[in-house]
């Protein structure tokens, strides 16, 4: 590399991509990416994408080349919606349970788990809850209990290969409330065990603050604004919030951010 912009290395990788051994090419990209300004990186990404496509590597390989590899094979994006009112009701109960399986190499959504849950302590949703979440009474009436939904989550995790010890995955939430407060609190109330895979996670607010240098006081709205992203769907819809989290993660990954666990071990 002749200067801080890495221009000489870009020229080398551009002209010699077909001849470069793939393991050395990958190492060279990882060494150069942190040095590149965003505009240069974007241009270089398109060059690499065209080179890979011309040599038959396909779109997925081209997409992977545009950002450094993550520490996890999969990110499991989760965002609960729960019974609520003003003043707050106790105990709160999960009424929407969505998970998106995000590929750690491509940052694309590969699979979705989404179920509504019937509350049992306060089975009737309040007008405040429906207005906030968009969930009406008919969407939870007759739905499985939390225990049944957790069993189906485990079945889905197994089907997706996420229980294989060789596969590294971690949950991602917007804040610590979902897995630090809501799920363990309701499980304790109902006498249900909490699976180990729910006991470590990435708080997207913390990850964003590490990457961008500012704390998103208004959560997803601030993160979308800070990254110039359009908000997806309806605020406080669990599945739509998951889509926004996934989109923010993909954007940060393309900027070179490496996601790490933020929760403390239980």
Residue by residue, pLDDT tens for the chain (266 residues) are 433 333 334 333 343 443 444 444 444 445 444 444 444 444 444 444 444 344 433 444 444 456 889 999 999 999 999 999 999 999 999 999 999 999 999 999 999 999 999 999 999 999 999 999 999 999 999 999 999 999 999 999 999 999 999 999 999 999 999 999 999 999 999 999 999 999 999 999 999 999 999 999 999 999 999 999 999 999 999 999 999 999 999 999 999 999 999 998 75
- In this structure, are residues 65 and 57 in contact, taking their beta carbons and an 8 Å threshold? no
pLDDT at site 94: 98
Which SS3 state, helix, strand or coil, does residue 160 take?
A: coil
Is residue 93, in this structure, part of any structural domain at all?
A: yes
CA distance 42 to 122: 52
Structural domain containing residue 80: 74-255
Is residue 46, in this structure, part of any structural domain at all?
A: no
pLDDT at site 266: 58
Is residue 68, in this structure, part of any structural domain at all?
A: no
Is residue 96, in this structure, part of any structural domain at all?
A: yes
- Kindly state the DSSP code that residue 33 receives in the 8-state scheme: G
pLDDT at site 15: 39
Please state whether the peptide bond connecting residue 91 to the residue before it is cis, i.e. omega within 30 degrees of 0. yes
pLDDT at site 32: 45
Token pair in block for residue 25: 């090419």
Is residue 189, in this structure, part of any structural domain at all?
A: yes
User: pLDDT tens digits, residue range 78-127?
Assistant: 999 999 999 999 999 999 999 999 999 999 999 999 999 999 999 999 99
Is residue 175, in this structure, part of any structural domain at all?
A: yes
**CATH number of the domain where residue 163 is located:** 3.30.420.10
- Kindly state the DSSP code that residue 102 receives in the 8-state scheme: E
Task: Please state the φ and ψ torsions of residue 220, each to the nearest 5 degrees.
Answer: -60, -35
Question: Which residues have a catalytic role annotated?
Answer: 81, 236
Q: What angle do CA 90, 76, 36 make, to 5 degrees?
A: 125
Is residue 249, in this structure, part of any structural domain at all?
A: yes
CA distance 178 to 118: 17
Please state the domain count of the chain: 1
- In this structure, are residues 95 and 119 in contact, taking their beta carbons and an 8 Å threshold? yes
SS3 content of the chain, % helix, strand, coil (to 5): 45, 10, 40
Is residue 207, in this structure, part of any structural domain at all?
A: yes
pLDDT at site 67: 80
């Amino acid at each position: 590399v002749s200067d801080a912009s890495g221009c000489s290395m870009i020229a080398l990788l551009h002209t010699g991509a077909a001849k470069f051994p793939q393991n050395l090419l990958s190492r060279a990209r990882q060494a150069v990416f942190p040095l590149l300004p965003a505009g240069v990186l974007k241009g270089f990404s398109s060059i690499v994408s065209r080179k890979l496509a011309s040599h038959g590597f396909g779109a997925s390989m081209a997409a992977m080349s545009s950002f450094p590899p993550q520490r996890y094979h999969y990110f499991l994006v989760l965002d609960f919606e729960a019974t609520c009112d003003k003043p707050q009701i106790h105990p709160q109960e999960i009424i929407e349970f969505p998970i998106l399986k995000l590929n750690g190499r491509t940052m694309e959504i590969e699979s979705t788990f989404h179920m509504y849950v019937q509350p049992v302590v306060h089975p009737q949703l309040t007008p405040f809850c429906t207005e906030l979440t968009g969930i009406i009474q008919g969407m939870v009436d007759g739905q499985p209990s939390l225990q049944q939904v957790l069993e189906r989550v485990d079945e889905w995790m197994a089907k997706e290969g996420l229980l294989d010890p060789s596969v590294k995955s971690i949950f991602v939430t917007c804040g610590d409330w979902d897995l630090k407060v809501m799920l363990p609190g309701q499980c304790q109330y109902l006498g249900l065990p909490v699976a180990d895979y729910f006991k470590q996670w990435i708080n997207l607010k913390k990850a964003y603050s590490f990457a961008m240098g500012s704390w998103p006081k208004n959560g997803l709205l601030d993160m979308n604004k800070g990254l110039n992203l359009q908000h997806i769907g309806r605020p406080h819809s669990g599945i739509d919030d998951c889509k926004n989290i996934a989109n923010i993660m993909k954007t940060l990954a393309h900027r070179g951010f490496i996601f790490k666990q933020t929760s403390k071990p239980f």
